Structure 1
Amino acid sequence: MQTRIGPLPAKKPDSPILLALCLPALNVATPDILRACIKALAGSKAAPLGDDVQIVLAEAVNNIVEHAYSSLGFGALALRISLSGQSLRIDLIDWGCPFPNLSLPAGHAPEPETLSEGGYGWLLIRSLVSTLEYQRHADSNQLSLHFDLR
């Protein structure tokens, strides 16, 4: 039986945590996640990134709901936002299925003649973050999104 939730990896104490939460990985939770993130960024030096953060998180959360838990039915999603120097870091942790080949999708746009409604999420994510990392830890996935504050 697959684990659907577990402890979050430890966070370095030198990075102030603006928000840490764990919610069901359901599309109906996405607006709550986005509101909590914007509220956490308000008044910080990362506040101007609010629109980009919302777009990236909406895409990333949708991918977790639609793909990581597609064969499991449901699960949990943990989110942690921290500031460190000139960087905003968002960690998304889930206990669903890993990415194929344990690597992130390339993020190329679908061919225009296919008239695809999907397939643009990773292109958007990659274009809005400074760097992104994926790691599989035992039974969990960790997606780390970094935004440069400069």
Structure 2
Amino acid sequence: MAAANDLQVTSRVIIPESDLEEQFIRAGGPGGQNVNKVSTAVQLRFQASRCEAVPPDARRRLLKLAGRRATKDGDILIEASRFRSQDRNREDARERLAELVREALKPPPPPRRKTKPTRGSVERRLKAKKGRGDIKRNRGPVGD
């Protein structure tokens, strides 16, 4: 059963609050006095390498998907400062993390098998090229 502050990613995957750490920081950019005085931006740290809720193969994909947001310790940092209120930024950061985890939970597509064109399709292509060449060769002045 999920606690109130646990992050529900899917019906099966619930990230416990103990693996999430929130820090409220001052946001940059426009906003005037509000931005300068109030810590509305959220920095969400997810301890991905230690989280048992995410399967190991998905954890590897998650750290790869996170890119520069992943630290050497296996944590994922997400900063949200899109909104003016702390609560909306908090929800935004949690939703972005959930979306990243959902993407990592999807199994990777099977590797592509290289195929060769059939002999008939090669012959048809070459015949069509020859026909176009003949058409172009027959354009222009007609010699006697």
| TM-score under structure 1 length normalisation | 0.31
The structure number with the bigger radius of gyration is: 2
More helix by share: 2
Report 1 or 2 for greater relative contact order, CA contacts < 8 Å, sequence distance ≥ 6. 1
More strand by share: 1
